[in-house]
Amino acid sequence: MPSRSALLASLPPEPVLAPRAAAAKIIVLDDDPTGTQTVHGIPVLTTWGVEELTAELRAPEPCCYILTNTRAFPVARACAINREIGANLARAAAAAGRAFTVVSRGDSTLRGHYPAETDALAEALGGGFDGTLIIPAFFAGGRVTIGDTHYVADGDRLVPAGETEFARDASFGYRASDLRAWVEEKTAGRIRADEVLSLSLEDLRTRNEAAVAAKLATLPRGGVAIVNAAGRGDLAALTHVLAHAERAGRRYLFRTAADFVAAYAGIAPRPLLTAAELAEAGSRHGGLLVAGSYVGKTSAQLEALFAACPALERVEISVEQLLLDDRRATEIARCATALAVAIAAGRSAALVTSRRLITGRDAAHSLAIGETVSASLVGIVRDLAVRPRWLIAKGGITSSDTATRALGLRRALVLGQALPGVPVWRAGPESKWPGLAYVVFPGNVGGPDALATLVGSLLA
């Protein structure tokens, strides 16, 4: 496995230029809420009616996120949601008189319903796309694409994505690390690896945008291109390439991770939010962490958290009990009471699932188990009568379900990030706790001490 520092040092110099924002409004369909991890000052919708979309298309912000949560659903439901949003977007654009471009934001470790979601979107939007660009780079999480291979950083090692725990996901597993081969694998051979166009780092770092746009123009209608990226300068260069292509009338769909959205929308980074911006001043209540993610990184972070923060009360909900119909209600009631007592007394608490991963007999059954667990966590937070001083949700599905089903969020504002790659939303007035800063902590982001660092700052 290559050394990250050595491989990056061997590359041509990264471009130093400002991104070129898209002329059209960017609508991001996010398959879980962690995709807002590179932006700020941007709204997030959890509903997608024509009226809501028309209002957002008329608003001045360069982009808008729609939380679909489709990674939690079977493929048929995910496609239905994408088709519904696509149809509503077309109607809203006609009403608002404003053009838009669509980004399907997926996981930077390649888990999710690809190509089903982009296929459904293209169908709903009437086709006519010149191709789909695959851009999974996410730099705060150590996800880079070099030489067409997608890597996940582990310290200074770059691990090919197909060799990570994420590739063994019970619902979205895969084998290939080369993104051209990954496209062939995920499309079941409909698109062969040798048919996938590659925009290399050498292409993007030559700073000849017109030449790279001409290369992109060779993509056959409906084809797929992958974009290599090892730094923000590469994505900035890509936005200039896209400006050339769009002036020539070309239209693309995008399946990307979070960093491309910030570049394409022209959103510059901002400083990390402080603990004072995350916790409610004057509150005498404790804070609340809800953790449902099962990736190894989350389990390691929770272990470090409880070792570093002994004052944090641990309320562990047994997944084994939740999966027994005659035990579920009792287990939920036990945890709900413990949380309410702690938070009301001013003690911060963590609601965490037991750490033994239970998978189903197939992908659909595994998703169903996840839904049972998530619904139980949601019910506890939804029925919590005391407002916590701060709220962190750990894991994509957990944070999505907490936002929509527990807090009742319909529209939130992305404030920024608590840590690199960890977004924070301001809850809207319609929610259970209006104005609360809601921390969306992805399951696969941060080092072993990241969660301890954040919670420790809030407990200080």
pLDDT digit string, tens, across residues 164-222:
999 999 889 999 999 999 999 999 999 999 999 999 999 999 878 999 999 999 999 99
Q: What is the pLDDT of residue 355?
A: 63
Q: Which amino acid is at 357?
A: L
Contacts of 149 (CB under 8 A, 6+ apart): 160, 161, 177, 178, 179
Residue 62 has pLDDT above 80, yes or no: yes
**CA atoms of 369 and 358, how far apart (whole Å):** 8
**CA atoms of 119 and 82, how far apart (whole Å):** 9
Percent of the chain with pLDDT over 70: 99
Is 401 in a helix, a strand, or coil?
helix
Nearest alpha carbon to residue 413 among 72, 28, 87, 43: 43
**CA atoms of 210 and 244, how far apart (whole Å):** 6
Give all domains of the chain, ordered by start, each with its CATH number: 4-265 (3.40.50.10840), 275-459 (3.40.980.20)
Residue 373 has pLDDT above 80, yes or no: yes
Q: What is the pLDDT of residue 324?
A: 81
The single-letter DSSP state of residue 163 is: G
Under a CB-based contact definition with an 8 Å cutoff, are residues 148 and 180 in contact? Answer: yes
Under a CB-based contact definition with an 8 Å cutoff, are residues 400 and 72 in contact? Answer: yes
**CA atoms of 16 and 235, how far apart (whole Å):** 11
Under a CB-based contact definition with an 8 Å cutoff, are residues 159 and 153 in contact? Answer: yes
Q: Which two tokens stand for residue 34?
A: 């962690």
- Mean pLDDT across the chain: 94
pLDDT digits (tens, 9 = 90+) for 27-57: 999 998 889 999 999 999 999 999 999 999 9
Torsion of CA 361, 362, 365, 367, to 10 degrees: 130
Q: 242 vs 21, 77, 104, 134, 254, CA distance in Å? A: 10, 32, 17, 14, 11
**CA atoms of 53 and 89, how far apart (whole Å):** 7
Residue 128 has pLDDT above 90, yes or no: no
- Of the pLDDT bands very low, low, confident and very high (cuts 50, 70, 90), residue 293 is confident
- Mean pLDDT to the nearest integer, 399-413: 95
Q: What is the pLDDT of residue 356?
A: 74
Q: What is the pLDDT of residue 207?
A: 78
Nearest alpha carbon to residue 26 among 58, 57, 69, 71: 57
Is 67 in a helix, a strand, or coil?
strand
- Mean pLDDT to the nearest integer, 367-387: 88
Q: 87 vs 83, 196, 252, CA distance in Å? A: 6, 28, 17
Beta strands 349-353 and 313-317, pairing class: parallel
Q: Which two tokens stand for residue 165?
A: 């725990």
**CA atoms of 2 and 24, how far apart (whole Å):** 39
Q: Which amino acid is at 428?
A: G
Q: Which two tokens stand for residue 129?
A: 């796309």
**CA atoms of 393 and 396, how far apart (whole Å):** 8
Find residue 394's DSSP bridge partners. Answer: 291, 441
Q: What is the pLDDT of residue 396?
A: 83
Under a CB-based contact definition with an 8 Å cutoff, are residues 232 and 258 in contact? Answer: no
- Mean pLDDT to the nearest integer, 251-263: 97
Torsion sign (Cα): 307, 309, 311, 316: negative
- Of the pLDDT bands very low, low, confident and very high (cuts 50, 70, 90), residue 72 is confident
The single-letter DSSP state of residue 72 is: G
pLDDT digits (tens, 9 = 90+) for 241-250: 999 999 999 9
- Of the pLDDT bands very low, low, confident and very high (cuts 50, 70, 90), residue 358 is low
pLDDT digits (tens, 9 = 90+) for 298-334: 889 999 999 999 999 999 998 888 888 888 999 999 9
Under a CB-based contact definition with an 8 Å cutoff, are residues 183 and 223 in contact? Answer: no
